[in-house]
Structure 1
Amino acid sequence: MKRVSFARFGGPDVLRLEDAEEPHAGPGRIRVAVRAAGVNPVDWRIREGQFRGIRPLELPAGLGQDAAGVVDEVGEGVEGVAIGDHVFGEGENTYAEFAVLSAWARMPEGLTFEEAAGYPSVMETALRVIREVGVRAGQTLLVSGASGGVGSAVVQIARERGITVIGTAGAASQDHVRGMGALATTYGEGWVERVRRLGRVDAALDLAGSGVLRELIGLTGNPRKVVSIADPEAAELGVPFSGVAGSMPEALAEAVDLISRGRLRIPVEKSYPLAEAAAAHIDSRAGHTRGRRVLIVRKPAARRPEPARNRPRAGSP
């Protein structure tokens, strides 16, 4: 199969499309023929080596954790999913033609593979930071970086829960933020006063890491009412940094519910062929995204079935 990998830490030029052995579904796992893979900031942070001190990685290594595809292997002990099902979820090395998933859900009706690949990680992150910041119905949440994938999920989930949202984003993303039900304003000089004119801020989220933590603390009056997922200086200012993942199965279940009821939509800003993963990383790192970026994986050529002893059946004990 084809997969994207890197043999040394560095810039996007270290990424290579290579031939690799196919992974197989172990106990409690499924394998999918990947149709699309989500591109997340954590992917290029790993590629750059930002986590090698806390998360050792053996090179060469693959990339990617979000995928949507067609189930083609079901591991021992897995129930409720069958070969041929269309699913989306989280796994390892999803920038590839085949990937093993550790958490998954059936794709909601009407969702394309391209769209579905953009949901798993952003949903888990959005639900986690809303919970950690402690904002409640009737209060106002300021979201710095409201137009990206996580921001888009946060805005819509918060609005569904009766929370007023003020979202900051670039000038070109104002309509996108307003369209999700938030009060919108731009970054740049004077943004704090523009936010104050929109209303009192009870809690704030830093999703972009653009050096605004001190201002967010000033707006909320309490560093513990600010949560960051992107600024390494957060702890120095007394701001909680959210980095420990919550329950992906719960996040996927909520995504399915909200999407099915028409209460959540995260658009795909741009899709790229698998061979252009480097371009996707460059664009992701630059920010200013409205929605998600995904890699499109070409449908693999038909293969001869493996012997039954090597290919677990759906529902096998």
Structure 2
Amino acid sequence: MSKLRSLVPSTHSLFVFEAAARTLSFKRAALELNVTQPSVSLTIKTMEKHCRVTLFKRDNRGVRLTEAGSELYDQVRAGFRRIEQTLEEIGEQGTKYLSFAASTTMAAHWLAPQVYHFQQEHPDIRLKIVVTDRDVEPDNEIDVTIWIRNRDFNRPNTWFISDEVIFPVCSPAYLAAHRQLHTIEDLIHHQLIHSSDAYRKRMSWSEWIELVGGDPSHITRDIVFTDYQLAYQAALLGEGVALGWSFTNEFHLANGSLIRPLPHQVETGRAFFLVANDRIGESDKTKKLLEWVLAQSMAHRS
């Protein structure tokens, strides 16, 4: 049993208190609650007696909150609003969100920097970003997601976004404080940031160096992050050189917070794909979201 039931005379008294505190009028609270003014006054008196505290100051000009009343009102108002939001979300007539599932890195470094543009263009659409450490199948809970698959991947409700291109990235500050990078062999003199995700296979430094014609035998894995997002963040903070993906690095390369210290890159033969659930044909809002993602990523396909 909730302790709250013993701290107030009734749950109804909280609704009466909230209305009276918000309107600062027992009369207006009574009209709003469809009860009489004496009923509101009695409920407040009963609540004050039960709680052993004065909630309202009464005088000829009306009522105003005491310090204790103001403190209680702030908490009651916040609590009521949280309950309202939850009921709206779970109710059949409540706010409907489009759910976009993405990796931590995709959500933080591609979606987050520009998703507000989508909201400005489509204020009627509510978007929920679902961060996941593995690929999820679009279903009743997820409307849209992004996968990396072989370049010839094909299935209904799937759109090609961008080829997977991988290259080294670091912050300008890191490069300014360390010896220059001119060749693949120079990497041995730099702090390489490694990552190893449990559920998403990402190319390692050794694989990348071998593919661009270098010798990976002298590469050491001094520090390994088990989430690529942490490796990416370390690169932004100037801790070393990380491998970057063209699509998810787009924003930071454009604003200069990351740079490419070497021109070498690997085109893996895989690609990013936008994947939607089977309900796309039923929702104009989902179509607008898909069109927006494709428009934002158009430069990668040109």
Determine if the TM-score, normalized by the shorter chain, exceeds 0.5. Answer: no
Which structure shows the higher strand fraction?
Answer: 1
Larger Rg: 2
Which bracket does the TM-score occupy, shorter chain normalised? under 0.3
Report the TM-score when normalising by structure 2.
0.27
Which structure shows the higher helix fraction?
Answer: 2
